């Protein structure tokens, strides 16, 4: 197991991740596709496992599967790699209830929830929005940590190259579900546009170049109601295996059929097609 560890525990990032792995109730990696979230999540789960923690996972690509049955996809199809707004919102509605149930059903301090959320495009943004529900005190507490990996320009370019290669020749079946480069770059454009609206960036035509400081500033805004830390990524950590290979026992949080149905019923009761579109497009409003 330890052979899969590639981040030295005495490095700055290693120390940040290791301390969280020992002490936190839940840890989330937030940010765009192509920022290294999956690698750091994998490495943190290894650290947590080695500390005797029981790992539970909540990842966008994992939890959305229950909401993408053939019947639901026929009603809400994926277009050009982008998940339908109704599915994005349904997953988010379930996620808070799903995390609350997990917290209540797994009170042992050995249990830890590790998650991954993009936020952009309304992908699990509900976990960072300050809502008046039983889960909010936990999400605001010091027992839940959000990490934002912020790669340098050089590292970001290299990650994009590796993603293109892994999608073309996957080492793991889950790599085929990774966001393709057109989605990665469109997501960055959405983040940049929010940065312009916040006064963090200047208007730009076309798809702007990746800028770490703009990225960091925008996600700092999105996580203003949460306990978060920035991970400055200036070094490539060469993965020995796919970032989806864990080789340890883990438990994936997933919605059951009745929970999926309840989420879509809520959407149909509370939203019209237009108001749903507006809600999803307003993902930056936290």
Confidence band of 166 (pLDDT split at 50, 70, 90): low
Residue 170 has a pLDDT of 67
pLDDT, tens digit, for every residue of 113-124?
Answer: 999 999 999 999
Lowest mean pLDDT among 110-119, 162-171, 172-181: 172-181
Confidence band of 168 (pLDDT split at 50, 70, 90): low
Confidence band of 182 (pLDDT split at 50, 70, 90): confident
Q: Which residues contact 41 (CB under 8 A, 6 or more apart)?
A: 29, 59, 114, 116, 243
**Quick one: average pLDDT of 222-243?**
89
Q: What are phi and psi of 270, to 5 degrees?
A: -100, -15
Confidence band of 5 (pLDDT split at 50, 70, 90): confident
Look at residue 175 and tell me whether its pLDDT is greater than 70: no
Lowest mean pLDDT among 34-38, 61-65, 222-226: 34-38
Mean of the per-residue pLDDT values of the chain:
91
- From the number of C-beta atoms within 10 Å of its C-beta (0-12, 13-18, 19+), residue 177 rates as middle
The CA angle 247-251-252, to the nearest 5 degrees, is 110
Confidence band of 2 (pLDDT split at 50, 70, 90): very low
pLDDT, tens digit, for every residue of 72-113?
Answer: 999 999 988 789 999 999 999 999 999 999 999 999 999 999
Confidence band of 172 (pLDDT split at 50, 70, 90): low
DSSP state of 282: T
B/e letters for 67-103, b = 16+ CB within 10 Å, e = fewer, are: bbeeebeeebeeeeeebbbbbbbbbbbbbbbbbbebb
Strands 228-233 and 54-59: unpaired
* CATH number 1.10.357 is the correct assignment for the domain at 17-269: no
Residue 214 has a pLDDT of 97
Look at residue 147 and tell me whether its pLDDT is greater than 80: yes
Look at residue 167 and tell me whether its pLDDT is greater than 90: no
Alpha helices in the chain (DSSP H): 12-23, 37-50, 60-63, 70-75, 85-105, 136-140, 153-168, 181-198, 212-222, 257-270, 273-281
Q: What are phi and psi of 252, to 5 degrees?
A: -85, 130
- Partnered with residue 19 across adjacent β-strands are none
**Quick one: average pLDDT of 201-211?**
91
| 122/242: higher pLDDT | 122
Residue 237 has a pLDDT of 84
- Partnered with residue 144 across adjacent β-strands are 26
Check if the beta carbon of residue 12 is closer than 8 Å to that of residue 6. Answer: no
**Quick one: average pLDDT of 180-191?**
86
Residue 181 has a pLDDT of 74
**Quick one: average pLDDT of 245-267?**
92
Residue 1 has a pLDDT of 42
Look at residue 3 and tell me whether its pLDDT is greater than 80: no
Residues in the chain: 286
- Partnered with residue 114 across adjacent β-strands are 27, 57
Check if the beta carbon of residue 22 is closer than 8 Å to that of residue 108. Answer: no
Q: What is the pTM of this model?
A: 0.90
Residue 256 has a pLDDT of 97
**Quick one: average pLDDT of 281-286?**
93
Cα distances from 162 to residues 154, 158, 175, in angstroms, run 13, 6, 11
Q: 3-class SS at 215?
A: helix
Check if the beta carbon of residue 71 is closer than 8 Å to that of residue 173. Answer: no
């Amino acid at each position: 197991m330890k052979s899969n560890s590639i981040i030295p525990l005495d490095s700055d990032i290693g120390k940040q991740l290791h301390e969280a792995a020992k002490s936190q109730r839940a840890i989330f990696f937030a940010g765009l596709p192509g920022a290294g979230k999956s690698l750091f999540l994998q490495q943190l789960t290894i650290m947590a496992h080695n500390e005797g923690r029981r790992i539970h996972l909540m990842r966008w690509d994992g939890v959305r599967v229950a909401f993408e049955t053939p019947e639901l996809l026929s009603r809400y199809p994926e277009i050009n790699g982008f998940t339908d707004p109704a599915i994005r919102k349904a997953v988010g509605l379930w996620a808070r209830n799903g995390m609350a149930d997990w917290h209540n059903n797994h009170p042992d301090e050995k249990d830890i929830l590790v998650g991954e959320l993009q936020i952009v495009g309304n992908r699990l943004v509900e976990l960072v929005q300050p809502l008046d529900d039983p889960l909010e005190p936990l999400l605001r507490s010091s027992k839940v940590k959000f990490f934002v990996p912020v790669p340098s320009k050089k590292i970001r370019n290299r990650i994009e190259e590796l993603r293109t290669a892994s999608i073309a020749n996957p080492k793991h079946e889950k790599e085929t579900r990774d966001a393709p480069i057109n989605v990665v770059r469109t997501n960055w454009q959405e983040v940049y546009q929010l940065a312009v609206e916040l006064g963090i960036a200047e208007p730009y035509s076309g798809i702007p170049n990746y800028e770490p400081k703009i990225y960091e500033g925008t996600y700092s805004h999105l996580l203003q109601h949460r306990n978060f830390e920035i991970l400055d990524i200036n070094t490539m950590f060469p993965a020995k295996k796919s970032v989806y290979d864990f080789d340890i026992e883990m438990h994936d949080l997933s919605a059951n059929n009745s929970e999926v149905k309840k989420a879509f019923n809520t959407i149909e009761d509370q939203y019209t097609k237009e108001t749903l579109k507006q809600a999803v497009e307003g993902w930056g409003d936290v």
